[in-house]
Amino acid sequence: MSKAKTLAKRVRQGRMPQQAPNARSVAYSVLTKVQEQDSYANLLLPHVLGGSELSTDDKRFVTDAVYGTLRWRGLLDAVIVSAHGRSLNSINKRLVNVLRLGAYQWLFMNGAEYAVVNESVKLAKKRAGQQTTGFVNAVMRKIVARTLDQWRETLSQESSYEDEAERLAVQYSHPAWIVRELAAAWNAGGYAPEPSVKESGVNEELEGLEGLEAMLAADNEAPAVTLCVRPSLADMDAVYDEVEALGGRVQRGELSPYALRVRGVNPQNLASVTEGRVGVEDEGSQLAALALALAPVEDADGVKGAEGTEDAAERGERWLDMCAGPGGKTALLASIAQEVGATLSANEPHEHRRELVRENLKAIDAGTLGEISGRDGREFGATFPGAFDRVLVDAPCSGLGALRRRPEARWRKTAESVQELASLQKELLNSALDATRSGGVVAYVTCSPVLAETRDIVSAVLSARSDASRLDVPSVLEELNSSIPLPASVDSASPRDMQLFENIHDTDQMFIALIRKI
């Protein structure tokens, strides 16, 4: 058989390597998997791009298109529905992401009108067949007839929103229930001036509208990658130089003394990261771990105070991270424990996450580490009563504080799913308090600003106990860094929790409460 015939046969049999798909096709595939298979974009996208033959510019395009389309899906869908004149359910499901990608390119990526329409039509033909091209061409031509500002104005005029939350939900591409939760968290956070409902002209649940809109806008911005240079394991200047040597841009963090914010470099290409001396950890998460390490503990009789980790070795302090996976906060605590002579144990009930904890702790001296266990965290209070000086409860939560990093989460979570976690969160906090000695401290932390899984959990647990009380988190963090934006003190005699906000701290929206066992 001739080479030509052999080649033709291989093509017919589907054995011929195909030409590398273009960037829009790759972006479409990732979006479809995220939607249909509940994949996580931050895990799927690096894998797909790493195995592709796309150019560096095309990889940047795919990254922007995927994350941007996920973030702005609510607004994009509203634009598509308006241009189509019918509901999204009336559109061939294979075409929805084609139209979302095209709309995002036009509204947010400064794509040329002709190119956006033409490429959308070509993608539709490839993914859904020739018969769909006329429809996509017609809808896309209506979309490119208006700018982003014009579309926002059009949607405001066309829609009869039930309340302000509904309007903001479309304008900033969040489900309305999340808008309401963020509004409640902002109003309870202590950062906004006393609002005037009459002057703002909004319903009471959305007081402090300016701060709320800033929060929603920040949710749609891509965050920088933040490194945690683990104390006792790595040197800040050396890691700074390492990033620059690989062509990355780097600046010191503004909140944590161990933070470096980097762009233009894959952290996995840094030797300090692969060796476990440095980790990828948002500054908000770093502050949560540091708050626990720096909180003052007392001797068992409650008389002698000890600030932070001072005399930790002399006291033989035992620390516990009760919900440790994947282990970023654990490693920061462990590296501090290694410096001060404390011992840290870690617990993670899920085996695959427990392996991640071990990986994060690989650079820690064995003498610093206690047990790395897989227990149900609710068992610790009964199994190890009063055994620990400091306990971190990084409780399972909705994750709504990390929507910048996981934009698809806003479309998957429901108000009901948040409420379902409340019982577990209370049980874990009670268990942690039972496992803490008299005078010791528990940090209750969530990557969420939602009151039902933050302040309400702490208040509910403490209202049923007489052996624990809140500490003032802002005071602890102010000792760490006086430039950290802190909430206003309503009553100096009333200890405060601390809610971090993206628009103020440029971190994930972490909640931190410190509780002393009496």
CA distance linking residue 70 with residue 104, whole number of Å = 10
The verdict on residue 377 lying in a domain is yes
On whether residue 470 sits in a domain, the answer given is yes
pLDDT above 80 (res 328)? yes
One domain, residues 178 and 317: no
Once rounded to an integer, what is the mean pLDDT over residues 279-298? 97
CATH value at residue 401 = 3.40.50.150
Q: C-alpha angle with apex 137: 136 to 140, nearest 5 degrees?
A: 80
Question: Please, are residues 191 and 169 in contact by the beta-carbon 8 Å criterion?
Answer: no
Q: Are residues 263 and 296 in the same domain?
A: no
Which has more pLDDT, 465 or 13?
465
On whether 145 is known to bind a ligand per the annotation, the reply is: no
Question: What is the spatial distance between Cα 380 and Cα 267, in angstroms, rounded to a whole number?
Answer: 35
What is the CA 359 to chain-centroid distance, rounded?
21
C-alpha count within 13 angstroms, C-beta hemisphere, residue 335: 25
- Domain for residue 359, yes or no? yes
The answer as to whether 364 is a domain residue is yes
Residues with Cβ within 8 Å of 201's Cβ and at least 6 positions away in sequence, in order, are: none
Is residue 378 within 8 A of residue 322, CB to CB? The reply is no
| Cα separation, 354 vs 324, whole angstroms | 8
Calpha distance 30→52 (Å, rounded): 12
Structural domain contains residue 200: no
228 is in an annotated binding site: no
Instruction: Mark whether 267 and 316 lie in a shared domain.
Output: no
Q: Is 323 annotated as a binding residue?
A: yes
- pLDDT per residue as tens digits for the range 216-264: 999 999 898 999 999 999 999 999 999 999 999 999 999 999 999 999 9
Task: Check the annotation: does 377 bind a ligand.
Answer: no
Q: How confident is the model at residue 6 (pLDDT cuts 50, 70, 90)?
A: very low
Give the model confidence (pLDDT) of 100-118 as tens digits: 999 999 999 999 999 999 9
In this predicted structure, the answer to whether residue 1 has a pLDDT above a threshold of 80 is no
- Compute, in degrees rounded to 10, the torsion defined by CA atoms 414, 109, 32, 224: -60
Average pLDDT, stretch 163-182? 94
Q: Which of 437, 14, 411 lies closest to 173, judged by CA?
A: 411
| Per-residue pLDDT tens digits for 52-93 | 889 999 999 999 999 999 999 999 999 999 999 999 999 999
Between the two ends of the chain, the Cα-to-Cα distance in Å is 87
Residue 10 lies in a domain: no
On whether both 270 and 365 belong to a single domain, the answer is no
pLDDT, one tens digit per residue, over 421-472 is: 999 999 999 999 999 999 999 999 999 999 999 999 999 999 999 999 999 9
Residue 447 annotated as catalytic: yes
> Same domain, yes or no, for 170 and 305?
no
3-state helix, strand, coil in the chain (%, to 5): 55, 15, 35
CATH of the domain at 256: 3.30.70.1170
Which string of b and e fits 30-41 if b means at least 16 CB within 10 Å?
bbbbbbeeebeb
Claim to verify: residue 209 and residue 329 sit in the same structural domain: no
- Residue 382 inside a domain? The answer is yes
51 marked as part of a ligand binding site: no
Percent of the chain past pLDDT 90, that is, above it, reads 81
Least confident of 122-126, 206-210, 215-219, 271-275: 206-210
Compute CA distances 498 → 182, 225, 424, 473, whole Å.
15, 23, 21, 6
Residue 336 shares a structural domain with residue 458 = yes
Instruction: Based on the fold, state whether residues 305 and 385 are members of the same structural domain.
Output: yes
What is residue 158's predicted lDDT score, i.e. its pLDDT? 84
Q: Residue 445: give the domain boundaries.
A: 282-517
DSSP letter (8 states) at residue 384? S
166 lies in the same domain as 265: no
Report the range out of 12-16, 349-353, 416-420 with the highest average pLDDT.
349-353
pLDDT for 489 equals: 67
Other beta carbons less than 10 A from residue 53's beta carbon? 8
Please tell me what DSSP assigns to residue 192.
S
The residue among 149, 170, 186 that closes a domain is 149
189 and 247 share a domain? no
Domain count, the chain: 4
How does the average pLDDT of the chain come out, rounded?
90
* Cβ-based neighbours of 223, under 8 Å, separated by 6 or more: 282, 404, 405, 506, 508
Res 202: pLDDT: 41
Phi/psi of residue 344, nearest 5 degrees: -120, 130
408 and 345 housed in the same domain: yes
Is 219 known to sit in a ligand binding site? no
Q: Which of 447, 471, 484, 515 is the catalytic position?
A: 447
Question: 102: annotated binding-site residue?
Answer: no
Domain harbouring 48, CATH code? 1.10.940.10
Clarify whether residues 165 and 189 are in a common domain: yes
Ligand-binding annotation for 376, yes or no, is yes
Task: Kindly state whether residue 392 falls inside one of the protein's structural domains.
Answer: yes
Across 331-354, average pLDDT: 97
